[in-house]
Structure 1
């Protein structure tokens, strides 16, 4: 088998024994393992033992013959160096916001704690300490995301044959917290009207679109006049306004999925009334990514596009989410008595000594976010017994299972209707049983979809008809 051990201190004399010193005698490590295909030479102080040259040669020969050899020296590369030089340059995120989000998690929560450790030094003890630190600083959802990012990095290092094992994937004793199940809360009609009455008139249509068509906030800001089909009573959701760094862009809706939502005449009247007072405004923004394209394809895809937006800021540009929330949405919630007044702070103005600006900071409250209007739209549709498939399509979810996971608790009387159907089945069956000649009635059992979709009174009449 290929491979040999060289004694770098002594060479053989006439008697065949290694007694003649070489020029390197007593300098550096004595034994060098060489000649193994695909394995770099390596020197050792000792010839025998678990960490000696012979053990290494046997291991290298065995793993090399099977094509599984990984040099431990490759795993001594620091995690920070591996990420910066090898992993991150090869990540290809189409969405610039996703790219920025992942980069922030890696640099702020992984490299800051583990960046100085070698790849092969990130094992169970190190993960346990790191996870404890994260749990003390971040919510369970974010911790779960950061753990997943580290796992992806270590798995890439395994695939690059720098380490033999990804300890994030093989853990049984150290695991990130489970991601909390999303539970949407809908608003009552009274609350929606409270906020709508309190909000600035110019932005009132945003409330109507959120609750009447289930649009996300960025989709509301990106809705154009040409997206509203008044004759078909449909709104086409084809873009959103997103912020990348400090710049705004147009982009496809979340999940890169466009959709069409049927809307009631009332919402279309609200759109007409809004346009009568504030006509649609042409707004031009880059598409997909504000950065200059590096290829002809990227330059073409990112070229600015113009749309006649229904809702714009006072100066005519597209709304910025944080500015809308701080100056329009949250003040309306405060005026409606739904949130507490903000904390008022004085902050120095950069470059202007002795000058300060007033900043209002509202407490965070997810139940009072703009997204609650979308939840309300979903709850109204499900309460009206619209199919989950249709509601999922209108919301732009990738799959109806996502809609069920988020909104299943909003589906009305699911257990009550099933209970009623089962009771009718039993009662109908009992009438067919004779004391003299008991028989099992031939009753057609309703399919689950029939039980869910049928009205209790209909179920009763159907049961009677079956008998």
Structure 2
């Protein structure tokens, strides 16, 4: 096989033994492995042993023949250097929010702890210590995301032939915590009305649309006059207002899916009353990304667009979600007695020595967020036995399975009907068993309608019962 070992210190004498010193004798490492195709030369202190020249030559010859040789010296590059110079520049995140989120994970949770380590040293012990640090400060969902990001980086390093193994993927003893299953919590009608009564009248429509059409908060803020179809009694969800860094943009709804949601006349009347009192205002924002495009295509896609928004801030601009939540939503929750008072701190005012401003910070409670209105919409629809495929479409989910995973516990009598079916099966009452039962029954099974109206269910005519 190709390849050889050179003794740099001694050469053979007349007797065939290496006894004649060379000019490099006792300088540097004695043995050099060379001549293996596709493998850089490498020097060693010892000839034999697991870390000697002969063992290295045998390994290099074998892996070179199979096309699998990876020089471990390529893995000495620091993780930070690899990410910043090789991995990150080749990542493509069309959504600027996703790009900013990934950059934050890299900076705060990966490079901050592992950035100074060579790629080939990130193994089980290092991952175990890193995971312990993350678990002490972050929630399981975030830890799971960060672990996945590091795994992607290390896998790219494997593909780039810098390391031989991605230890994030081969772990049996060190694994990130499982992502918690989402469990939505709906509000009662009384809670919705209580919060609506305590929030500023200019934005009461936000509560109405959130609970009456199931829109996300950014979609509520991006709702325009042209999106309200009074004749068809639907709201078209075509855009949202997003915050990218410190700037606002218009963008497609989450998942880049537009949709139409049927709404009750009661909600459309609320929209009319709101516009009579507070006419819509024209707002212009970039589309998708506030940064100027690098190509003509990007510049065209990101060009500012103008819409007549139903809900705008006091100055006439689009609402910023964090400002809305801190100044209107959470104070309304406090006034309604749903959350406690905020923690107040005094902070110095920049450029004004001796002067301070009071900052209020509410405790984070996911069950009290604006998104709870969307959960309430879903609960009313499912409680009325609306088709889950239709509800999924109205919510803008990519697949009905997502709707089931989040809202299955809100579907009524699921366990009760199943319990009754099994009781009838044990008792042999074939006439009461669903056609989905095992086909061991000899008697014909009547087909029962799944339609609530035919089953005599009390189905609300509209969402007015919530509003």
TM range (shorter): over 0.9
Q: Which runs of structure 2 are paired with 1:60-99 in the superposition (5 Å)?
A: 60-99=60-99
Contact 2:430–2:445 (Cα < 8 Å) also in 1:
no
1:146 and 1:454 map into 2 onto residues whose CA distance is 48
Pairwise mapping of residues 323-342 of structure 1 onto structure 2 (< 5 A)? 323-342=323-342
Task: Please say if 1:443 is aligned against 2:406.
Answer: no
For residues 453 and 444 of structure 1, the distance between their equivalents in structure 2, rounded to whole angstroms, comes to 20
- SS of structure 1 residue aligned to 2:242: strand
For 1:14-413, list aligned pairs within 5 A.
14-413=14-413
Aligned-partner Cα distance in 1 for 2:219–2:431: 56
Q: CA deviation at 1:13?
A: 3.1
After superposition, the C-alpha distances for 1:191-231 in whole angstroms (9 at most, x for unaligned) are 00001111101000000010000000000011111111111
> Quick one: distance in 2 between partners of 1:235 and 1:345?
42
In 1: Cα distance, 2:456 partner to 2:215 partner: 35
Paired with 2:321 and 2:389, the residues of 1 have a C-alpha distance of 30
Per-residue deviation, 1:452: 8.6
Q: Is the 8 A contact 1:421 1:451 kept in 2?
A: no
Give secondary structure in 1 for the equivalent of 2:25.
coil
Distance 2:20 2:450 in 1: 94
Aligned match of 2:464: none
Partner SS state of residue 269, structure 2: helix
Unpaired segments ≥5 residues, structure 1: 432-438, 459-467
Paired position in structure 1 for 2:461: none
Most deviating of 291-300 and 4-13: 4-13
SS of the aligned residue for 1:69 comes to coil
Residues 431, 446 of structure 2: 8 Å contact kept: no
Quote the offset at 1:453 in angstroms. 6.2
Q: Tell me the secondary structure at the aligned position of residue 357 of structure 1.
A: strand
CA distance in 2, matches of 1:384, 1:252: 30
Which of the pair has the greater relative contact order for Cα pairs under 8 Å at 6+ separation?
2
Alpha-carbon distance in 2 for matches of 1:440, 1:50: 70
SS of the aligned residue for 1:47 comes to coil
Shift of 1:280: 1.1
| Superposed displacement of residue 310, structure 1 | 0.6
Structure-2 residue corresponding to 1:13: 13
RMSD between aligned residues: 2.0
Give the Å deviation of 1:15. Answer: 3.6
Give the Cα–Cα distance (whole angstroms) in 1 for the partners of residues 252 and 35 of structure 2: 56
After superposition, what is the alpha-carbon deviation per residue over 1:209-265, rounded to whole angstroms, capped at 9, x for unaligned?
A: 100000000000111111111111111111111111110011111111111111111
3-state SS in 2 of match to 1:312:
coil
| Matched pairs, number | 449
Aligned partners of 1:325 and 1:204: how far apart in 2?
13
Shift of 1:25: 1.4
Structure 2 partner of 1:465 = none
Q: How far apart are the structure 2 equivalents of 1:282 and 1:86?
A: 44
For 1:430 and 1:404, how far apart are their aligned partners in 2? 29
TM-score, structure 2 length as denominator?
0.92
Q: Return 5+ residue gaps in structure 2 as ranges.
A: 433-439, 458-467
Q: 1 CA distance for matches of 2:445 and 2:106?
A: 58
Task: Please say if residues 238 and 252 of structure 2, whose CA atoms lie closer than 8 Å, have aligned partners that are also in contact.
Answer: yes
Q: Deviations over 1:167-207 (max 9, x none)?
A: 11111111111111100000000100001111101000000
Deviation at 1:445, TM superposition (A): 6.9
Note the C-alpha offset of 1:443: 2.3
Once the two structures are TM-superposed, the CA of residue 76 in structure 1 deviates from its matched residue by 1.1
Distance in 1 between residues matched to 2:280 and 2:453, nearest whole Å: 44
SS of the residue aligned with 1:397?
coil
Aligned partner of residue 111 in structure 2, secondary structure: helix
Contact 2:431 2:445 in 1 (8 A): no
Spell out, residue by residue over 1:21-71, the C-alpha distance to the aligned partner (whole angstroms, 9 max, x if none): 222111111111111111111111111111111111110010011010011
Q: CA deviation at 1:78?
A: 1.0
- Tell me, in whole angstroms, the C-alpha distance in 2 between the residues paired with 1:429 and 1:367: 44
Secondary structure of 2:11 counterpart: strand
Q: TM-score, normalised by structure 1?
A: 0.92
In the alignment, what sits opposite 2:435?
none
Identify if the C-alpha distance between structure 1 residues 149 and 313 changes in structure 2 by more than 3 Å, giving closer, same or farther. same
Residue 417 of structure 1, CA deviation: 2.8
Q: Deviations over 1:88-122 (max 9, x none)?
A: 11111111111111111111111111111111111
Q: Verify the 8 A CA contact 1:420 1:456 in the aligned structure 2.
A: no
